[in-house]
A and B are shown apart, each in its own frame.
Chain A
Amino acid sequence: MNMMSEIRGAGLVERAREVAAVAGKHADAVDKEGRFPHEAVAAMKSARLFGIQVPILLGGEGATIAEIAEVCSIIAQECASSAMIFAMHHIKLSSCVSHGMGDEWHEAFMHRIVREQLLLGSATTEAGIGGNLRNSICAIEVDGDICRLTKEATVISYGKQADAILITSRSHKEAASTDQVMTVFLKDQYTLEQTHVWDTMGMRGTCSDGFLFKAEAPAVQILPKPFAEIAAESMLATCHLLWSATWYGIALNAVTRAQAFVRAAARANPGTTPPGALRLAEATAELHLIKSNVIAGIERFEAAKEDPAQLSSLGFAVAMNNVKIATSQMILSVINQAMIICGIAGYKNGTPYSIGRHLRDAHSAQLMISNERILSNTATMLTVHKLDTSLMG
């Protein structure tokens, strides 16, 4: 058996754990220096994790959303930025897998992702639009076989390190702001002129700088479906689910640290219940709620996957939005509990019980597509969508 098939043959969870170990070793430095976690990303490539979602037919492993979410959560327990990079890559890849099959260029591209372990970046956010994903100002210009695009992309995570960027725009110069397409541009087909620096409270390793993006490529690289469909049928769900899996991993690790703190206290004073034990019990109950929420979301997506009508229904969108809203809010309260349990040892950096990075990273969740925006979308949908009255679905 050659090396390659040996690595591929290994279980996904084991490979994720190996990556997590590398990510954990450098997580504090990545956070402190606000630098790209290149060690963890190199480990993802050598564990061949970037191609797992690609169908087996095209050389990948056909990993499900549940499997990818598990990997996100495992890596996030050690380094949230690394896990978020992995999640964002797979969110982009999900658009290719769901909407690029049957298209020659995109199939070949997926093949290349597996072979070369390419890292995919995303540019939806635009100056003047913010996180309003389903609107663009910039327009792609198709000139014969060639397409050109210039976009003021105010946030592109790992823009400098990505091997390709999937970017949204209006479909032509006269198109309405909601008539969008998404295009794959390869690294040697675009230039990035940096306009914003990512010096943030948390998620510092995602290096989500802002750029003036300028690209030219063969027009066949435009994904063959309208972005409205891509957003509804793959991106909305995979974003909320893989982000939530990542956030869950952050909260889980904070509680794990709090548990270690309580156990150490229990061992130091046998026969007594340490003061943090009750809070720990409370925190695990909340953690369990987050986990159930993420799992239910994943199951709902898996069930809806084969049916575009369900995927683009209001009920499904409401369900996915709710997973995101709940997870992003609840992790903050859980991590805060962990901090209270660990006290100063949690507040300080560099102790086995440090929670500061977790708390700072977790604060990005509410802003990553603003909860305010998502709630107002849900509010609109709830004027016609009626709540499900059954418990089991």
Chain B
Amino acid sequence: MKDKIRELLGKLGGLPVAVDTLADGADLYAAGLSSFASVQLMLGIEDAFDIEFPDHLLNRKSFASIDAIAETVSAIVEGREAA
């Protein structure tokens, strides 16, 4: 899942640095993720994982790092499987 997230981040994140230089826990906002790009990334992830982010997860923290995104996506996917 993280590889897919990294791929999307590289494509949509508009970061001034290469995604491979970022650790999973690195702060994406500090790395230059703009609010516009973060929304593009959210859209890309919704599409790639066939999920919809509920509004309470559409916040800065859910997208602060690759780890945080993976956690957010897992929570949604697991919630769906449980349901």
Given contacts A134-B35, A171-B30, A228-B29, 4 further A-B contacts (CB under 8 A): A176-B30, A178-B32, A232-B60, A386-B55
A314 lies within 8 A of B31 (CB): no
Selected from B29, B32, B35, the residue in CB contact (under 8 A) with A377 is B35
When distances are taken between beta carbons in the complex, the residues of chain B under 8 Å from A313 are 55-56, 58-59
Selected from A226, A310, A314, A383, the residue in CB contact (under 8 A) with B29 is A226
B61 lies within 8 A of A309 (CB): yes
When distances are taken between beta carbons in the complex, the residues of chain B under 8 Å from A229 are 60
Selected from B35, B53, B60, the residue in CB contact (under 8 A) with A380 is B35
| Number of interface residues, chain A, beta carbon within 8 A | 27
| A141 proximal to B (CB < 8 A) | no
| B46 proximal to A (CB < 8 A) | yes
A92 to B4 Cα, complex, angstroms: 41
When distances are taken between beta carbons in the complex, the residues of chain B under 8 Å from A232 are 60
| B33 proximal to A (CB < 8 A) | yes
| B39 proximal to A (CB < 8 A) | yes
| A352 proximal to B (CB < 8 A) | no
| A177 proximal to B (CB < 8 A) | yes
| A288 proximal to B (CB < 8 A) | no
B61 lies within 8 A of A384 (CB): no
Tell me the minimal C-beta distance from A393 to chain B in angstroms: 12
A309 to B59 Cα, complex, angstroms: 6
Residues of B within 8 A of A (CB): 15-16, 29-36, 39, 42-43, 46, 52-53, 55-56, 58-61
When distances are taken between beta carbons in the complex, the residues of chain B under 8 Å from A134 are 34-35
A384 lies within 8 A of B35 (CB): no
A339 to B67 Cα, complex, angstroms: 57
Interface string of A316-335 (1 = CB under 8 A from B): 00000000000000000000
Tell me the minimal C-beta distance from A384 to chain B in angstroms: 5
Selected from A135, A226, A381, the residue in CB contact (under 8 A) with B39 is A381
| A385 proximal to B (CB < 8 A) | yes
- Of residues A175, A178, A179, which shows the largest number of chain B Cβ atoms within 10 Å of its Cβ? A178
B39 lies within 8 A of A315 (CB): no
| A312 proximal to B (CB < 8 A) | yes
A233 and chain B: residue at smallest CB distance = B60
When distances are taken between beta carbons in the complex, the residues of chain B under 8 Å from A308 are 61
A308 to B32 Cα, complex, angstroms: 21
The 5 A-B pairs at the shortest CB distance, nearest first, are namely A176-B32, A312-B60, A313-B59, A314-B58, A312-B59
Tell me the minimal C-beta distance from B55 to chain A in angstroms: 5
A226 to B32 Cα, complex, angstroms: 12
A228 lies within 8 A of B60 (CB): yes
Given contacts A176-B31, A228-B29, contact A384 B60 (CB under 8 A): no
Chain A residues 289-311 with CB under 8 Å of chain B are: 308-310
